[in-house]
Chain A
Amino acid sequence: MIVAAILALLVTMALVLTRAFIGPTVYDRILAVNAFGTKSVLLITVGGHAMGWYSYVDIALMYALINFVGTLAVMRFFETHDPRHDEL
């Protein structure tokens, strides 16, 4: 079952990556990057457990925290109202 979960995660990551490439708006890209980060955390947790990686939980924890910081930073970039950045 764990293999099925890993496969599902990998397929999902590919789908999310496609969305990040085609856009079309910047918000889609931000959403895709965030979703990709979450899927990476899940892949590290599930895959790390399956393959017996060392201290995978620590890395997954840090990924979750840093992903949160990164996504919020991207959103702050769009909240500072600058006329030059108004296009989508």
Chain B
Amino acid sequence: MRDLFAVIMLFGIFSFIAALLFLDMDAVDVAFTEAAVGAGVTTVLMLSALRLTQRYENVSHRHAGMALVVVTLTGAALIYGTLDFPSLGDPNAPVHEHVAPEYLQQTPEKIGVPNVVTAVLASFRGYDTLGETVVIFSAGIVVMLLLGLGRAEDFEQQEDILILWVVVKPMVALILVFALYVQFHGDFGAGGGFQAGVIFASGFILYSLVYGENHTRKVLPARWLPRLAALGVLLYAGTGMFSFFKGQVFLDYNALADSPVSGQHLGILLVEAGVGLTVFSTVLLIFYAFSGRRAVVHE
């Protein structure tokens, strides 16, 4: 397809299907994330990048034969490799023998949180998640350095947009409330900081799309966002450092409260809040950076 716009639309559909697949394979949290990210934020980002570049692809003069050979060889090698894999859903597969049973056993007694994914994410593998949060934070900073924060165009008033105004206003409130629900319900059901941050940012993006970005920038100025993102990382690392100063290991939440289990609860809450804050402000920062930039017209 020459038209990159159509490619992006079809990629959005692919994301819907991928989320359905995750849901069918019991990965509720992953389906949540894929649905929050794939259909909304990815499409918005790709379209904003398309607005700043060219929409139509040039006719390629390349010879695709070599690429086809390389891809076919790689694919054949990989398919040969998968022959030794355990079948889908095999309970005795090597993956299920090592750490996963320990996580499943220890979560009720040590963490006391029903959602094992949240327990592993925030407590057992807290270092990992801290690293990922820092990666997201630095990605936001890099986009800001590359594109600048930009400034909003004056939004021209259109009188026949009234229906959207009326519909979108409660919808934004609903999205924000839903994001908070996902954030704080993450200990008990599907959800958590990563999903909540993206959904919260989607609410702000929806508001700027319909009411104009200058209004959103009045509510939350762009210069605050890097600081908010940094604050999120700081909250995460600070929670770790707190137990460090209390004589425990870094990111060991047992020291946060009197009993280990309530300490874990508090620690997971704080850490997830840090993750949510960082993800929200980074996604919104990236959106501001792309939509605040003027398109350069080349001859």
Chain B residues 172 to 217 lying within 8 A of chain A, measured CB to CB, are 174-175, 178, 182, 189-191, 199, 202, 205-206, 209-210
Query: Interface residues of B toward A: which range?
Result: 35 or more
Q: How far apart are B36's CB and chain A's nearest CB, in angstroms? A: 6
| Contact B297–A68 (Cβ < 8 Å) | no
Across the interface, name the chain A residue whose C-beta is closest to B298: A84
The secondary structure that dominates the A interface is helix
A62 CB–B CB distance under 8 Å: yes
B210: A residues at CB distance < 8 A: 72
- Select B9's contact among A30, A63, A67, beta carbons within 8 Å: A30
B36: A residues at CB distance < 8 A: 62, 66
Chain A residues 31 to 88 lying within 8 A of chain B, measured CB to CB, are 32-33, 36-37, 40, 43-44, 48, 53-56, 58-59, 61-63, 65-70, 72-74, 76-77, 80, 82, 84-85
The secondary structure that dominates the B interface is helix
| Contact B206–A68 (Cβ < 8 Å) | yes
Q: What is the total number of residues of chain A having a CB less than 8 Å from a CB of chain B?
A: 39
Q: A26-B5, A53-B23, A73-B44 are known contacts. Are A82 and B51 too (CB-CB below 8 A)?
A: yes
| Contact B174–A69 (Cβ < 8 Å) | no
| Contact B13–A20 (Cβ < 8 Å) | yes
Q: How far apart are B7's CB and chain A's nearest CB, in angstroms? A: 10
> What are 6 of the A-B contact pairs (CB < 8 Å)?
A32-B9, A58-B191, A59-B31, A62-B178, A63-B39, A73-B209
Known: A55-B28, A59-B23, A59-B32. 11 other contacts (CB 8 A): A20-B10, A21-B10, A29-B9, A59-B28, A63-B35, A69-B40, A70-B12, A72-B209, A77-B50, A77-B51, A82-B51
Point out residues on B near A: beta carbons under 8 Å: 3, 5-6, 9-10, 12-13, 16, 19-20, 23-24, 26, 28, 31-32, 35-36, 39-40, 43-44, 47, 50-51, 54-55, 164, 168, 171, 174-175, 178, 182, 189-191, 199, 202, 205-206, 209-210, 295, 297
